[in-house]
């Protein structure tokens, strides 16, 4: 088999890939030498058709993808069929996430920040809304910027994110709205003839017991993100050892959100080569 280079975790403006259209995403991936791409926006299937049309023009393969939000993990669904049942499930998850954003907005308003859900929607009219959409709306909005300046607070995006969304942050909330469960996500992706796995495990997995439990629940693969492994070497080794010992299926992804996020799309110079096992699991010939 001739090497085929993959990036199976990327985002566009249909979720929080800020200002990156599906066509731009595919063009960037083609420039990097990617042969097989998945657009995996959070909790939405919007933009897949545009991305596929552009991929066909450029001689790339675009496979169906989505990143599903559960209470603790982000799960990647790949290679699924877009049945009515699956579309309904993803839409339900999207609606749940928007209600959580509304809770975050109310938390910020309680400390005086002049943010509204309407402002977020105006900035991201086609997007599944999440905390990054809220963050960027705060940074762009003139009234919110004035609030920060008057309060002597930094407008550096990373510092604002830590201030709001990291542990103990103002917008870290006890979610009143439910999120889809791991079990439901696995069941629905499998019902749609796709495969499902854990995204960026180095960020979200604390111990082997969690990985064991996810495998028992039915996940099919574990993602490797080459551009973040250096951030947590101990967790990376734990996950790598688990993958080796269990013989787990592996995918490769960048978690690309656009040029401002510091995570580049993978290229054709690394380990992100389509394996025969993954090709078989995705029905790629």
Domain parsing of the chain, residue ranges:
6-90+180-282, 92-165
CA distance 61 to 96: 31
What single DSSP character describes residue 151? T
Q: What is the pTM of this model?
A: 0.94
* DSSP H or E run through 8: strand 6-10
- C-alpha atoms less than 13 angstroms from C-alpha of 90 in its C-beta half-sphere: 26
Q: Are 249 and 197 in contact (CB under 8 A)?
A: yes
> What gap in Å lies between CA 51 and CA 36, rounded to an integer?
12
**Contact by Cβ (8 Å): 92, 70:** no
Q: Which of 51, 11, 79 is nearest to 278 (CA)?
A: 79
User: Are the CB atoms for 123 and 136 separated by under 8 Å?
Assistant: yes
pLDDT digits (tens, 9 = 90+) for 192-237: 999 999 999 988 898 999 999 999 999 999 999 998 877 788 888 9
236 and 264 Cβ atoms separated by less than 8 Å:
no
Encode pLDDT of 86-136 as tens digits.
999 999 999 999 999 999 999 999 989 999 999 999 999 999 999 999 999
The CATH fold of domain 6-90+180-282 = TIM Barrel (3.20.20)
Q: What is the pLDDT of residue 165?
A: 84
18 contacts 137 by C-beta, under 8 angstroms: no
Residues 6 or more apart in contact with residue 120 via CB below 8 angstroms: 101, 105, 129, 133, 134, 137
What would you measure as the largest C-alpha separation in the chain, in angstroms? 61
């Amino acid at each position: 088999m001739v090497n085929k280079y993959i990036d199976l975790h990327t985002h566009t403006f249909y979720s929080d890939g800020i200002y990156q259209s599906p066509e731009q995403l595919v063009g960037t991936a083609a420039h990097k030498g990617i042969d097989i791409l998945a657009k995996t926006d959070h909790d939405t299937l919007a933009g897949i058709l545009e991305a596929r049309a552009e991929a066909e023009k450029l001689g790339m393969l675009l496979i169906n993808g989505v990143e599903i939000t559960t209470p603790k993990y982000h799960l990647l669904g790949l290679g699924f069929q877009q049945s009515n049942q699956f579309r309904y499930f993803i839409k339900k998850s999207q609606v749940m996430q928007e209600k959580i954003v509304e809770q975050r907005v109310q938390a910020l308003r309680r400390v005086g920040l002049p943010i509204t859900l309407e402002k977020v929607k105006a900035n991201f009219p086609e997007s599944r809304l999440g905390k990054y959409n809220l963050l960027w709306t705060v940074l762009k909005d003139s009234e919110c910027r004035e609030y920060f300046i008057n309060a002597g607070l930094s407008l550096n995006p990373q510092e604002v994110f830590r201030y709001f969304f990291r542990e103990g942050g103002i917008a870290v909330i006890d979610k009143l709205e439910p999120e889809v469960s791991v079990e439901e996500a696995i069941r629905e992706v499998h019902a749609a003839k796709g495969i499902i796995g854990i995204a960026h495990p180095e960020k979200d997995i604390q111990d082997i017991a969690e990985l064991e439990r996810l495998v028992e629940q039915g996940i099919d693969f574990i993602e490797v993100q080459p551009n973040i492994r250096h951030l947590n070497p101990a967790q990376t080794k734990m996950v790598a050892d688990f993958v080796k010992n269990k013989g787990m299926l592996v995918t490769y992804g960048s978690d690309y959100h656009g040029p401002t996020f510091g995570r580049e799309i993978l290229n054709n110079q690394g380990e992100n080569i389509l394996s025969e096992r993954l090709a078989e699991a995705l029905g790629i010939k």
